[in-house]
Structure 1
């Protein structure tokens, strides 16, 4: 066997064995929760945030750009060499493919070490003793009406006029600073060092339907600041939840909701409650569209204008690439212990129902 081919095949087999071992480790929730999360992830993520947090720009976005350019250049050079090779083309091709696959698996293993094992942690509902049984239509309706009332009250605190939209004057930097206070009020979710950045890829994210993302290789919470401003507080808190080691999307939504409320900033509270309402009303609509319309009708006119602005923004940025991003991310989540894929975001509603049921039970004792 050709020496280069042999080396690449051995390298690939070794990485595949490591991948198998990593998958086995992921099956031991206690090990992931009490060893990986408490010691390995906490140390790695804190170090990354310490390194990148002081930078005024997104280091992670630049890192991705460099890696993509290097990958494209390498593929181009490989194809050139393949075309020019006259002997043992099959050996050269197989060797190159083995090397490429090995690099891909190696990057995935680094991802697992930096953050990916968090997908196999103990569910947040169990850690917080929240019951997340199948939610009935009436429960959704009551929660939607409750949240609509909360949204209306918070909206009036901001505007003193139910007919007006609220236009925040807070800067993006202000929003990042306020978000920290919510986590500082929740010791179980707080973490050392903060690194929240405005993504350099905002335009691409707009046309991909993405409000933000966590970069596990730089430790940065990346935020798309182009959507309507009332969306940003919740998005920021959601992405910071990922930094705290919350990987599941529904759990990041829930932690983002709780921490936004803890900021005691009326605009943050409004953002979180309106997002929670939209998620809940969306789930209710799948069971009863009439009930959903009734809940929407109960909203202040100014709140309805915010929802229209939100829908208009994303509709104006719908594109041909969005379905491909959705397909990829759905596959990515399913392959990382989230069997419902992108529908996982909506499981946030189950956590909300269980959370408020828990609060009512405690109050009635």
Structure 2
């Protein structure tokens, strides 16, 4: 079993060069049935089954090492064979149940979008996003200086979030989201101090959302994780689809979250290119919108700690190992998709 890790590795590396094959036969083929099977089986549970599996696995691994540490010297060969047998099985399950999606066709190719954009295009789309965000903000608050407060509980937001994909499937039928399986993570507090808003469990296909984050951030976090469930592994693509799902939702609060979500990434890119222009555009945004941004920023500032960079560095390495060469920066590459999609629209 341990030796099977070697051919598995080379098979995965081989598939990296055939994204169209992965797109056709895995992402739009086998994976569709695998993901629906898991969501149908586990989606009805009110708690995260995957988190319980992680907890049990963590306990078992620590116990195994404690009980078998002496074998490392007396039975070295078999000790490593046992360890790599488990690694081999997990490597197989990870890729079969979800991981091959890292090697599918890039979304910009599937949607026939350009991969690059000019500063002029970026500014034009950003100005339109500001108009939409400001208009939605005023419709909700009736006051341009009051921040938006979601009128839903966090549980209600998770129930409502999948409805955004109902609106989105009119344009993208393949992005239909059923059955539903988005849940609060049992590890929300640890996730907060690690600096993460949510994650997809690749072994159970459950979308996990950090239930501690500000409510205003929960809607797009949920739609982002659901995009991962649909097989879009790249973080920029999940951001893009999650943004569109919120914008196409029937609820105005979700629309607001979607537009401000996309706007924040565009503003960050403008600041990187032209700080003076960024300052000018910031002056056109309703004060209440900026207060929502500040609410989220203050939340993360309050939970910064020495371990956060370590966890993010580890996850960045994981992303780089799975064809996201920018690591954690991959999240921000959503701007190219947003600019070219909205400009075309």
Which bin holds the TM-score, normalised by the shorter protein? Answer: over 0.9
State the TM-score, normalized to the length of structure 2: 0.95
Alignment partner, residue 79 of structure 1 = 69
Q: Do residues 12 (structure 1) and 7 (structure 2) align? A: no
Q: Deviations over 1:283-317 (max 9, x none)?
A: 11111112112222211111111111111000001
- Is the 8 Å Cα contact of residues 260 and 268 (structure 1) preserved in structure 2? yes
Determine helix, strand or coil for the equivalent of 1:188: helix
Q: Deviations over 1:314-359 (max 9, x none)?
A: 0001111111111111111111111111111111001011112212
Q: How does 1:185-204 map to 2 (within 5 A)?
A: 185=167, 186=169, 187-204=173-190
Determine helix, strand or coil for the equivalent of 2:225: helix
Q: How does 1:264-275 map to 2 (within 5 A)?
A: 264-275=250-261
- Is the 8 Å Cα contact of residues 136 and 252 (structure 2) preserved in structure 1? yes
Determine helix, strand or coil for the equivalent of 1:221: strand
Alignment partner, residue 144 of structure 1 = 126
Partner residue of 1:41 out of 28, 31, 34: 31
- The Cα of 1:25 is off from its aligned counterpart by 2.9
Q: Distance in 2 between matches of 1:166 and 1:286?
A: 27
Alignment partner, residue 291 of structure 2 = 305
Partner residue of 1:106 out of 89, 94, 98: 89
Give the stretch that moved more between structures: 309-318 or 160-169: 160-169
Alignment partner, residue 124 of structure 1 = 107
Determine helix, strand or coil for the equivalent of 2:69: helix
Alignment partner, residue 59 of structure 2 = 69
- The Cα of 1:137 is off from its aligned counterpart by 2.8
Q: Structure 1 residues 159 and 151, CA, compared in 2 at 3 Å: closer, same or farther? A: same
Q: Where do 5+ consecutive residues of structure 2 fail to align?
A: none
- Is the 8 Å Cα contact of residues 19 and 109 (structure 1) preserved in structure 2? no
Determine helix, strand or coil for the equivalent of 1:284: helix
- The Cα of 1:80 is off from its aligned counterpart by 4.0
Alignment partner, residue 162 of structure 1 = 144
Determine helix, strand or coil for the equivalent of 1:197: strand
- The Cα of 1:66 is off from its aligned counterpart by 0.6
Q: Distance in 1 between matches of 2:85 and 2:211?
A: 36
- The Cα of 1:105 is off from its aligned counterpart by 3.1
- The Cα of 1:19 is off from its aligned counterpart by 2.3
State the TM-score, normalized to the length of structure 1: 0.90
Aligned residue pairs total 341
RMSD: 1.5
Q: Do residues 283 (structure 1) and 266 (structure 2) align? A: no
Alignment partner, residue 334 of structure 1 = 320
- Is the 8 Å Cα contact of residues 71 and 79 (structure 2) preserved in structure 1? no
Q: How does 1:176-255 map to 2 (within 5 A)?
A: 176-185=158-167, 186=169, 187-255=173-241
Answer with 1 or 2: which has the greater Rg.
Answer: 1
